[in-house]
Structures are given as C-alpha cells and as structure tokens.
C-alpha cells in the first residue's frame, strides 16, 4: 500500500492527527477528506496544495513519494524551531551555531547553516 493514502497516513500519524483534524486544519470539508480513503478518490489540485502546506510537505511527495522536503519527517516542534531560526540576525545565528557546535548537534547545525548562508550572501538566495 505504498500510495498517496499511505503517505498521508504516515504524515498524519507523525502529528498525532486523524482525518477529521486534517480536514479542519486544511480547511477542507470532512466528507471530502474521508472520501479520499473510502472512495480512493485523489484530492483536487487546490485541496492537495492545502493538504501539503498543512502537513509541511509537497504535493509531489504526497502523490508520488518522490523528493520529500528535508523536514517532512521532522516533528512539528523541530520544524517550528528551524523556521524560527530564519528570523534571527546574522550575529544571533553565528552565536547559536557556536553553541550547537560545542554540543556537536550536527542535525541542528544544518538547519542553521541554510539561513546563515542566505544572510551572508543575500544576492545568492
């Protein structure tokens, strides 16, 4: 069962959500969301975009399994931390990176390096 429904189930489980919660969070009718599973009916394009944004992934990943974003399988809490890093100044990013390097948290360093590189090279981002 490696299809879009399976991937949706995995993404919902990651958040501890059920299908009703997906409908509520994405602004799609509950019956429409339920029909994806009960009638094996793929979502319309606009609903797919809403779902992918709500679940923090891409429509391509949901439908094909190809090219998942790097943070697709991060917890919502870690994703929130990574997103908040983008709001820090260059100096704050350097300080956070130094702290993380001291603790050898390479996983989080990667999350900081991307916005730091963008801050250091604004013409290339």
Q: What is the pLDDT of residues 10-28, one digit of tens each?
A: 889 888 899 999 999 999 9
The class of domain 4-64 in CATH terms is mainly alpha
Domain boundaries, the chain: 4-64, 76-124
Where residue 47 falls among pLDDT bands split at 50, 70, 90?
Answer: very high
80 pLDDT higher than 70: yes
CA Rg value for the chain: 18
Higher-scoring residue by pLDDT: 87, 115: 87
Residue 90 contacts residue 119 (beta carbons within 8 Å): yes
**Residue 111 confidence (pLDDT) above 70:** no
d(CA 20, CA 32): 10
Between the CA atoms of 81, 82, 88 and 90, what dihedral angle is there, to the nearest 10 degrees? 140
Q: Count Cβ atoms below 10 Å from residue 112 Cβ, excluding itself.
A: 23
Judged against a pLDDT cut of 90, whether residue 29 lies above it is answered with yes
């Amino acid at each position: 069962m490696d299809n879009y429904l399976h991937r949706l189930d995995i993404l919902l489980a990651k958040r501890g959500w059920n299908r009703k919660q997906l409908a509520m969070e994405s602004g799609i009718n509950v019956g429409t969301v339920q029909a994806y599973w009960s009638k094996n009916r793929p979502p319309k394009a606009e609903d797919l975009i809403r779902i992918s944004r709500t679940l923090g992934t891409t429509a391509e990943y949901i439908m094909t399994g190809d090219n998942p974003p790097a943070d697709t399988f991060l917890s919502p809490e870690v994703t929130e931390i990574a997103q908040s890093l983008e709001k820090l100044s260059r100096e704050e990013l350097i300080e956070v990176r130094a702290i993380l390097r001291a603790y050898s948290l390479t996983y989080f360093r990667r999350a900081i390096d991307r916005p730091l590189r963008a801050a250091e090279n604004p013409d290339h981002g």
